[in-house]
Homo-oligomer: A and B are copies of this chain.
Amino acid sequence: MTAPYADLANIASHTKHIIVTAQHMDGIDPGRGMGAVLPESIYQAGARAVFLNHAERPLQLAELVQSIEKAQDLGIKTIVCANSLEEARSIALLKPDILLCEPTELIGTGKTSDESYVQKTNSAIKEIDPNIFILQAAGISTPEDVYHTLQMGADGTGCTSGITEADSPAKMLEEMIEAVNRIYKEREEK
């Protein structure tokens, strides 16, 4: 669960089971960096994961390399976003914990990535590094979207507007979690 930087500590103090996640951090050490997001500060606040390179906060390649290194030093899991297949492959080489494939043009649209995009990015990433956990995320708005996306081979999915704009966000979230559980159970049975 991601939250604004200033809310991280409050959320971390009220939850036990959620991995509190920052929306970005800069790959810097304490010192200069007025206005930057200091990795040590989000760690102290309780964040144990961080998004990097989201379409709304894209990073230069050198910045991305530094942020991933810094996160590994501190024990913060990295969720790195990729738009195209080419980006996904380049990012996979940088050993993120989680790679989130999300065609920029579909974010917030309610349209999911097509099967060909999902399969190509999945297999390209696994070929480079089978240990990376893959999320396929764009346009997820129903439990069926979740089920279908995981069925295509993703390890997980993501969802913001599909939950926050549902009639009952809590119910939607529960049903989506059930869809994930169903898939993982089916996989074990195979």
Contact = CB atoms under 8 A, between A and B. Distances in A.
A152 interface: no
Interface residues of A, number: 49
Contact of A53 (B6, B38, B61, B84): B61
A119 interface: no
A142 to B, nearest CB: 22
A86 interface: yes
Nearest to A160: B34
Given A5-B6, A34-B24, A62-B58, A93 B89 contact: yes
A7 B23 CA distance: 16
Interface stretch (A41-49, A132-140, A176-184): A41-49
A119 to B, nearest CB: 19
Given A62-B83, A62-B84, A87-B65, A35 B57 contact: yes
A98 interface: no
A82 B140 CA distance: 36
A106 interface: no
A60 B58 contact: yes
Contacts of A38: 4, 6
Contacts of A34: 2, 23-24, 51, 54-57
A17 interface: no
Interface of A: 2, 4-10, 22-24, 32-38, 41-42, 44-45, 47, 51, 53-65, 69, 83-84, 86-87, 89-91, 93-94, 104, 108
9 contacts: A5-B41, A6-B8, A6-B22, A6-B38, A34-B55, A55-B62, A58-B61, A65-B84, A86-B93
